[in-house]
Every structure is written in structure tokens, then in C-alpha cells.
Amino acid sequence: MRNILIGLGAGMATALLFAGLISGTALAFPLFIISPLPIAIAGLGFGTLSGVAAALLASALIGVTIGPLAAGLYFILFAAPVAWAAHLVGLSRPDESAAAGRQWFPLDMVLFRVSLAAGIAVVVAGYALGYDPEALIQETVKVLQAWLAQSPTDGVVPTEAEMEPLVRFNIALMPFTSAALTLGILVLATWLGARIARMSGMLAREWTPLWTVVLPQPAALIFGIAFVASLIPGVPGQIAGAIAGAIGFAFSLTGFGLLHAVLIGKAARPLLLFLVYAVSFVFLLPLGIMAVVGLADTALQYRTRRFAAQSGNP
């Protein structure tokens, strides 16, 4: 009962953080980004029931204060996946041959499954919102033109025909970018939740650095199929694009993990990592490069073989 009550408190905290999105202040988006964090803390520190209670109450409160659609979307995209990720991280079974007598659910499978969940959630959310690329393109062009007309550059406002190609390109990428952003929020919340639970002495699982995670090889196959299928016009391509975007971002994370591993022992490691992360926040190209690196790491099992060699030769 105590854990459920804690989960309900976490749900209230999540709803309050999400409500910051409608405040219109500079902190609105950062608060939205970390809004699933209380659910992760509840699930990782106090168990699955606590995480589920937090997810359900947070979504219910969002429904009461904002609307049923917002509640459903938040539950599908963030609340339920974070609670499920926390459940998977805490999943274990007795194993006398393992450290501390327990075998924990592998983190690579946690990341893979949450990636699939993020892609599927974006597809469901798009269906619920009635996602229509052509209508969105026309609406976005009109909004941009009206905004640029308020402060034209050299007195010239771009025409709809001039803006449409760029807008169309960005809208075409929305299934990829939306799924990647969703997964990024889920991973950040789960990782931060685990750190906080660990500092509080509530994390049952032994700590494993995120940069050591390597996606399983089936992830590469599913990503390849989804990426090729994303080239199909229409709804099938959009669905495949969401799956490819989520798994592709997961490969970007493991690509950064490989960079962490390669730079171990290097004096310039902190500076190099900082520069790479800083550039990645501004440009998309480094994320694509890291996705290729992570994909190659999974396919060739480079990190697995390297750490196996190190453990065999202390």
C-alpha cells in the first residue's frame, strides 16, 4: 500500500511537470522533457505497482485538467513506456551462478524493447491525431509566412512556393524525428530515475553504465527492414519511418557508447565527449554518424569482443 501511495504522489508530480508545457514560459519545454521522471523514480525505486500507479494517475490528472486526448497521448507516448521500462530494468530471477545470486533482465533488451514501444506509440499517436502530411504542410507554410511577414528580411517575405520544399522535407522526416525524440525522453527519464534511486539506496539492481549497452543483432535486422520500408509512399512508409526513427536513435546512443569505450584512458576524453555531445545538440549529422557507428558495433560485436579480451587479460 505504501508503494502505491508513493506512486500516486509521483503521478501528481508528473502531471504538474507536464502542466508546465501550457505555461508558455522558457521552462515549459524542459519541464515537459523531464515530466516522466517521477514515474521512473517510482517504478525503479519502489516497484512496478508504484510505477503503474504513477502512470495512471498522471494521465488521469492530465485528462481532467487539459483533456482526454492529451491524457491518452501522454499515457501512450510517455507514462506507460516509462513504467514498463522501469519494470524491465527491475526484472530479475534467482541465479546462483550470477553476481549477488540474481540474473537481471539485459539492458540491451530493455533499450531494444523500449525503442519498439516508442515507435509503435508514435504510430498510435499519429493515428489518434489524424496525421495528414499534406494538410500539415499547407498549414505550416501559412503559419510560417504569417510569422515572417511580421519581421521580413530586407522587406522580402518568402512565397509559399519558396517555403514549401523545406517544409515538405521536414514534415517527411516527422515520423523519424518524433519517434527519436520520444525515445530520447524515455531513456533520459529512465536513466535519471535510476541514478536518483541509486543515490537514495532504493535501486535493487547493480549499476551498469549506459555506455556499455550494445543493441542485440536482431535490432539491426529490424532497423534495416523498417528503414527500407520507410521509403514506401503513404501510411506504410510513415509507420516504418517511426519504427526506424526510434531504433535508429537507439543505435545513435550505442554509437556514443562505443565512443565512450574507445576513449577510456585518454586524457582528452572529457573534452572530446563534451564537444561531440554539444555538436549533436545543434546538428543532426552527428546523430546519423553515431547511428551508423552503433549499427556497425552491433553487427561486428566490436565492443563485446574488446571487453571479453580485456577481462581475459587483466
Query: How many other C-beta atoms are found inside a 10 Å radius of the C-beta of residue 40?
Result: 30
Please state the φ and ψ torsions of residue 156, each to the nearest 5 degrees: -115, 130
Q: Which three cell numbers stand for residue 90?
A: 527491475
Match 498549414 to its residue by C-alpha cell: 139
CA–chain centroid gap for 283, Å, is: 17
Strand partners, 94: 102
Contact 216, 298 (CB under 8 A): yes
Residue 110 has pLDDT above 50, yes or no: yes
Q: Which three cell numbers stand for residue 198?
A: 541509486
In which band, very low, low, confident or very high, does the pLDDT at 82 lie, cut at 50, 70 and 90?
A: very high
Residue 154 has pLDDT above 70, yes or no: no
Instruction: Render pLDDT for 251-275 as a digit per residue (tens, 0 to 9).
Output: 999 999 888 888 887 788 888 888 8
CA-to-CA separations, 10 to 3, 61, 262, in angstroms, rounded: 10, 12, 38
Contact 129, 67 (CB under 8 A): no
Largest CA distance in the chain: 74
What kind and span of H or E run contains 93? strand 92-94
Please state the φ and ψ torsions of residue 25, each to the nearest 5 degrees: -85, 175
Euclidean distance between CA atoms 30 and 192, whole angstroms: 14
Q: Is 94 helix (H, G, I), strand (E, B) or coil?
A: strand
Q: pTM of the entire structure?
A: 0.88
Instruction: Render pLDDT for 14-63 as a digit per residue (tens, 0 to 9).
Output: 988 888 777 666 677 888 889 899 999 999 999 889 999 999 999 999 99
Select from 246, 112, 229 the least CA-distant residue to 178. 246
Residue 139 has pLDDT above 90, yes or no: no
Least confident interval from 94-103, 115-124, 194-203, 209-218: 94-103
DSSP letters spanning 6-59: HHHHHHHHHHHHHHGGGS-STTHHHHHHTTTHHHHHHHHHH-HHHHHHHHHHHH
Strand partners, 93: 103
In which band, very low, low, confident or very high, does the pLDDT at 153 lie, cut at 50, 70 and 90?
A: low
Instruction: Give the model's pLDDT for residue 247.
Output: 96
In which band, very low, low, confident or very high, does the pLDDT at 306 lie, cut at 50, 70 and 90?
A: low
Q: Is 103 helix (H, G, I), strand (E, B) or coil?
A: strand
The residue-averaged pLDDT of 75-84 equals: 95
CA–chain centroid gap for 78, Å, is: 9
